[in-house]
Every structure is written in structure tokens, then in C-alpha cells.
Amino acid sequence: MKMRSMLFVPADNEKKLDKARASTADVLILDLEDSVAAARKATAREMASRYLRETRGVRNSQAFVRINPLSEQGALFDLASVVGEGLDGVVLPKANGMDDVVRLGHCLDVLEARCGIPLGRTRIVVVATETAAAMLNMGGYARSHPRLAGITWGAEDLSAALGASSNREADGQLSHAYLLARSMCLVASAAAGVAPIDTLHADFRDASGLEAACAESRRRGFTGRIAIHPDQVDIINRCYAPSAEDLELARAVIAAFAAQPDAGTVGIDGRMYDRPHLVQAHRTLADAEATTASSASAQ
């Protein structure tokens, strides 16, 4: 499942839903949570359900729905409305840990059986850092789950949970608690064997800032990013796809180790590469193949 770009779309906004049909985002996230006012929740559920049915097989992107937190009754109404044909996955916000993923998995088991769709088809992406308890339970994601496809993080809800007036320092950089949240998201994703998805870049007009943030994020190990505006999608897709230089180096590393199968290190153009570089080279080629397959299926 390719998840370079995950574009949020308010589920109660007809204009934005229509525009999203042509999006090049790998994943559309129809939002039933923060972007929908309480009085509009029922309407948003109906619109999301209809959109999933009507666009199945014709949209370019996978479709996930961000439900309301499991601590709220609305989450069950959300799931009952949207689980079925056309839904690829669920984004779980404000999770306190792996136990919430397991609980959501049980709900999906029942609803998939009700709908007659294959058990386990609906995947889960969890927002894993939005509560104080969540930060203390990040190690639990090492247990993983058959439905878990990715882990992402956010700083806004966490700052509210911590009682902070801001999640940034005076110089504009993230404060330590939120740097920890980002790092723990990356580590937990690796332990679970799922995609680490970086948080949003809030200024959707800042294309150069987004590109720089994506480049930094990818160097750290993130494989995708949340988008909040369609204009961000192409930048994110490009930044999280292997470049021509990445592919050239990956092929060279693989070829060098193939030529010296008993070597622990190899030299290429004056630089030494060891076995971890070989693992990364194979990962880069696999990522490129998945990107090509995703693009072909969207056409």
C-alpha cells in the first residue's frame, strides 16, 4: 500500500470532495473529526458513505476515513456508516496506544462480516502521539497488527493535552516534547514494520518550505506525509519517491555486493558501503517499483 501523500478532505464539503476525485494523492482522508462541526457530523457521515460508493473504481486514490476518537460515541456511528465497498482504511485519531488499534480491529471484523467483504481488507493508520498516555505507550506498537498500515503523529492535540501555550520555541522550532513525538513515531513504525508518515506542513502556500521539510523528513526515514491542500500533493509525491540519483546508487550498491558476495563492505567511487547500505538499496528499488505500480493503477 503506497502512502506517500495523504490528503485530508472535510467529508461535509461537496466542493472539496468533487475536486478530490482527480487528486494525485496516494490516499484521500475523508475527515469526520476535527474539520467537521458537531452539528454537521451526521451529514458528513452520509456524504462520506455516498462518496465512497460513487467513486469506487473511478477515483485515482485510495480512500480512508478519519473517524472520531474511540472515546466518543460518534466513532461507532462513523464506522457503521462508512465500512463497506469503497473504503480502503480508517485513520484512528487520539489513540492511547496499541490497545485502541486492537479494539478498532474488532469493530472492523464485525462490520466487514456484516457487509460481506473480505475480513481484514480495511486497513488502519493511527495518529499515535495526540495524548499524554499515547506518548507513554508508544512501545506497544511493536506488537503490530494485521490491519495496521502506518503510524503518523501530530503536535497540536498533544500541546493541548500537555497544557502548553505553544508547541514551538521562541525561534519557531518544535519544542522537545514534540521532537520526541516525531522521533517515537518513526521508531514505533519501524518496530511495527509499517509506514512512518510525517505530520502536516501547516502553511500550504509555502511550497519551498514544504519541499525542504519533506527532504529533511525523508532523510530521517519517513516515507510519506499528510497534506492539507491539493497544491501540496505533487511536491510530497516527488519528494518521497526515489530520485534518479537514489536509484543509480542503489543499483550500484547491489551490483557491487553481487560481484563480491562474501564481502562485508564494498567500495564505490571512493566511498565504503556495508551491509546496511545493501538493505537500504533493496528498499529503494522496492519503493520505486511500488511507486510505478501505484501510478500505473491510477491511470
pLDDT tens digits, one per residue of 14-70 = 999 999 988 999 999 999 999 999 999 999 999 999 999 999 888 889 999 999 999
CB 75 within 8 A of CB 100: no
**Mean pLDDT estimate for the chain:** 92
Phi, psi dihedrals of residue 168, rounded to the nearest 5°? -125, 155
Helix (H, G, I), strand (E, B) or coil at 61: coil
207, HSE (Cβ side, Cα atoms, 13 Å): 6
Output the pLDDT for position 40. Answer: 97
Pairing of strands 27-31, 62-66: parallel
Output the pLDDT for position 171. Answer: 93
Residue 275 has pLDDT above 80, yes or no: yes
Residue 297 has pLDDT above 60, yes or no: no
* C-alpha span between 81 and 41 (Å, rounded): 11
Per-residue pLDDT band for 283 (boundaries 50, 70, 90) equals confident
Domain with CATH 3.20.20.60 in the chain: 5-239
Which residues, in sequence order, are bridge partners of residue 126? 92, 151
Output the pLDDT for position 112. Answer: 98
Per-residue pLDDT band for 292 (boundaries 50, 70, 90) equals low
Task: Choose the weakest-confidence range: 75-84, 87-96, 231-240, 248-257.
Answer: 248-257
Q: Any idea what DSSP says for residue 237? A: H
Q: What is the pLDDT of residues 201-215, one digit of tens each?
A: 999 999 999 999 999
Output the pLDDT for position 294. Answer: 57
Output the pLDDT for position 213. Answer: 96
Residue listed under C-alpha cell 478498532: 104
CB 272 within 8 A of CB 225: no
Output the pLDDT for position 284. Answer: 79
Total residues belonging to the chain: 299
CB 35 within 8 A of CB 67: no
Cell (9 digits) for 114: 456484516
Per-residue pLDDT band for 83 (boundaries 50, 70, 90) equals very high
Residue of 10 and 248 predicted with greater confidence: 10
Per-residue pLDDT band for 3 (boundaries 50, 70, 90) equals very high
Which residues, in sequence order, are bridge partners of residue 152? 127, 197
The CATH superfamily of 5-239 is: Phosphoenolpyruvate-binding domains (3.20.20.60)
Please tell me the pTM assigned to this model: 0.88
Average pLDDT over residues 153-171: 93
CB 215 within 8 A of CB 243: no
Output the pLDDT for position 262. Answer: 85
C-alpha R_g of the chain: 20
Q: Compute CA 174 distance to the chain's CA centroid, rounded to the nearest angstrom.
A: 20
* C-alpha span between 165 and 277 (Å, rounded): 42
Which residues, in sequence order, are bridge partners of residue 266? 273
